[in-house]
Amino acid sequence: MTRRVSTILFQGDSITDAGRDRSGRQHNDAAAMGRGYAYLAMCRLLADSPARALAVYNRGISGNRVPDLRARWDADCVALQPDVLSILIGVNDLWHKMEGRSSGTVAEYESGFAELLEHTRRALPKARLVLCEPFALRCGAVTQRWFPEFDERRAVAARLAQRSGALFVPFQSVFDRALQAGSAPEYWAADGVHPTPQGHQLRADAWLAAVTPLLAEG
């Protein structure tokens, strides 16, 4: 019998954190979910499924890179035993490097991320993984210096999703389509990385479109 989804966990960096209250509040709490896409997605899920007793958590932490996730994974992920685990990570692995605060090649990013996913599969064999594509809009902090390395790191996320059997949410494509429709990049992410409220809504809609069919299976 398919395991019924009851616990959903959002993991990542500041884009997922979105100013959440980390003082100990638990699932389905507005302050603990932050002001971003994770909160918006939670609201929709809870409104649509009042009988399912969903427990939705946000454990994103601002500034995190792949090594930071790995260091706190057992406590902030495995211990929660999520049925669905959504991960968005990668922009800081390059951004901090651009600012001289860390180092690391694309290959090291891929190997570290792959090890994290392998550990997750061993620790949470029944969890359904969702990998979200790192994204960047060419404005604010995002300059030409970011490319082509950022695109290579996006490709890593897609490749690892396929390799690990995870669902992939193509956030960059979502923003690219919005820009092609004529809006400015600053409208969606003023600094090129952190979404505006409407940017978070765009991403929540994309996440729900990709993940809701997965939830319906359980």
To the query of whether residue 49 is one of the catalytic residues in this protein, the response is: no
Both tokens assigned to 166: 């995870």
Helices (H), the chain: 14-17, 30-33, 37-48, 66-76, 91-98, 106-123, 149-164, 171-180, 185-188, 197-217
To the query of whether residue 194 is one of the catalytic residues in this protein, the response is: yes
- What gap in Å lies between CA 200 and CA 36, rounded to an integer? 5
Both tokens assigned to 13: 């960096």
To the query of whether residue 205 is one of the catalytic residues in this protein, the response is: no
- Pick the catalytic residue from 68, 76, 151, 191: 191
Single out the residue of 51, 52, 69 nearest to residue 60, CA to CA.
69
- What gap in Å lies between CA 142 and CA 146, rounded to an integer? 7
- Pick the catalytic residue from 17, 83, 86, 194: 194
- Pick the catalytic residue from 13, 14, 86, 200: 14
Catalytic residue set? 14, 191, 194
